[in-house]
């Protein structure tokens, strides 16, 4: 007995796939007589036609890991790649120093700005800078001392010009 057409009709009527429909083998004659959708509905209510439960894969759990912009590591150009690597390394290092209490917050902020400006070539360069902050300050002091000397010379020239102009 070929009941393929009846299975298709039942699938369309119930809105499911053909594989889910099960016919009761004892009442195949009644199934064969069913022509309309209403007949199929009555057979389902009587229990002659039944449905298999949905089979398939389970829904995947929602991803729990974060995928923010800081987590994405995609390929970038060489120069920028080296900048990013050095910057991340240096920032991590000064963060450790700050949490250990070796540097203060204002120094931390200042160094972060300098890291952003690519002032340090490497971690060793940063360490050297942190060990000798006095040296960099002394260089600034020397520069400041040189400037007034130059101003004195220029002011002397002005006074000479003025005195020379009055003498004439």
Strands 21-23 and 49-51 come out as antiparallel
Q: Which CATH number fits domain 4-51: 3.90.1170.50, 3.30.160.270, 1.10.1650.10, 3.90.226.10?
A: 1.10.1650.10
The ranges of the chain annotated as CATH 1.10.1200 are: 75-137
Say what the pLDDT of residue 149 is: 47
The ranges of the chain annotated as CATH 1.10.1650.10 are: 4-51
SS (H, E, C) the chain: CCCHHHHHHHHHHHCCCHHHEEECHHHHHHHHHCCCHHHHHHHHHHCCEEECCCCCCCCCCCCCCCCCCCCCCCCCCHHHHHHHHHHHHHHHHHHHHHHHCCCCHHHHHHHHHHHHCCCCCCHHHHHHHHHCHHHHHHHHHHHHHHHHHHHHHHHHHHHHHHHHHHHC
- The whole-model pTM stands at 0.37
Q: Does 160 or 126 have the greater pLDDT score? A: 126
Write the pLDDT tens digit of every residue in 50-95.
999 887 776 777 766 777 777 777 777 888 888 999 999 999 999 9
Say what the pLDDT of residue 155 is: 59
pLDDT band of 156, cuts 50, 70, 90: low
Architecture label for domain 75-137: Orthogonal Bundle (1.10)
Q: Does 113 or 57 have the greater pLDDT score? A: 113
Least confident among 33-42, 56-65, 115-124, 146-155: 146-155
């Amino acid at each position: 007995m070929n009941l393929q057409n009846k299975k298709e009709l039942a699938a369309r009527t119930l809105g499911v796939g053909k594989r889910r429909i099960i016919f009761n083998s004892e009442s195949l004659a009644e199934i064969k007589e069913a022509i309309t959708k209403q007949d199929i509905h009555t057979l389902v209510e009587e229990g002659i036609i039944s449905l298999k439960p949905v089979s398939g894969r389970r829904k995947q759990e929602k991803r729990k890991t974060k995928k923010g912009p800081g987590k994405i590591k995609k390929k970038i150009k060489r120069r920028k790649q080296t900048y990013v690597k050095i910057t991340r390394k240096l920032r991590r290092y000064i963060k450790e120093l700050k949490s250990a209490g070796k540097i203060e917050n204002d120094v931390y902020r200042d160094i972060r700005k300098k890291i952003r400006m690519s002032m340090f070539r490497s971690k060793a360069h940063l360490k050297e800078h942190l060990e000798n902050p006095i040296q960099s300050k002394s260089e600034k002091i020397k520069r400041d001392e040189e400037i007034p000397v130059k101003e004195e010379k220029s002011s002397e020239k002005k006074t000479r010009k003025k005195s020379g102009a009055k003498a004439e």
